[in-house]
């Protein structure tokens, strides 16, 4: 197959597309962004559910908290709230910023593995 000509006249293009019913097709609107109260509610609900699940697991023999000061409250505040905040707000960022953010998290994790594993010998 090869191209033998182009239609360049805007009026002719409009007439053809109008005849085909394609001239004024509108794309669907962009998805509605969540309001801040919906986002905060989802963050709180997910973090609470994850904490309740972890409390349940800690009450069984399947899961053990190693340090006495590390419990449901510290996990809720230092782990689950930041995780769900980042998850909720990173979703609405532009893809380039998302990639930079996720790359930054990867670098942070790699640095912590080196520090706590190789240097301090904790892992």
Q: Report pLDDT digits (tens) over 4-60.
A: 888 888 888 888 888 888 877 666 676 666 667 777 888 888 888 988 888 888 888
Would you give the distance in Å from CA 31 to the centre of its chain? 15
Q: What is the pLDDT of residues 71-113, one digit of tens each?
A: 778 888 888 888 888 888 787 788 888 889 888 889 988 998 9
Beta carbons within 10 angstroms of residue 29's beta carbon? 6
| Residues 48, 42: Cα–Cα separation, whole Å | 10
CB contact set of 83 (below 8 Å; sequence gap of 6+): 47
DSSP code of 120?
S
pTM of the model: 0.55
Closest CA to 59 of 76, 49, 47, 71: 71
- Coil, strand or helix: which one is 70? coil
Cβ atoms within 10 Å, residue 80: 20
Integer CA distances (angstroms), 76 to 47, 54, 73, 93, 119, in order: 7, 10, 5, 25, 28
Per-residue pLDDT tens over the stretch 59-70 = 887 777 777 778
């Amino acid at each position: 197959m090869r191209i033998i000509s182009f239609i360049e006249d805007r009026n002719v293009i409009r007439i053809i597309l109008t005849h085909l019913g394609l001239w004024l097709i509108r794309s669907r609107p962009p998805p509605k962004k969540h309001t801040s109260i919906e986002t905060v509610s989802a963050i709180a609900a997910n973090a609470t559910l994850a904490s309740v699940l972890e409390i349940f697991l800690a009450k069984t023999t399947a899961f053990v908290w190693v340090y006495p000061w590390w419990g449901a409250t510290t996990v809720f505040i230092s782990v689950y709230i930041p995780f769900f905040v980042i998850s909720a707000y990173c979703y609405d960022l532009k893809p380039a910023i998302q990639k930079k953010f996720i790359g930054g998290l990867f670098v942070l994790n790699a640095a912590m593995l080196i520090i706590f594993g190789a240097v301090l010998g904790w892992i």
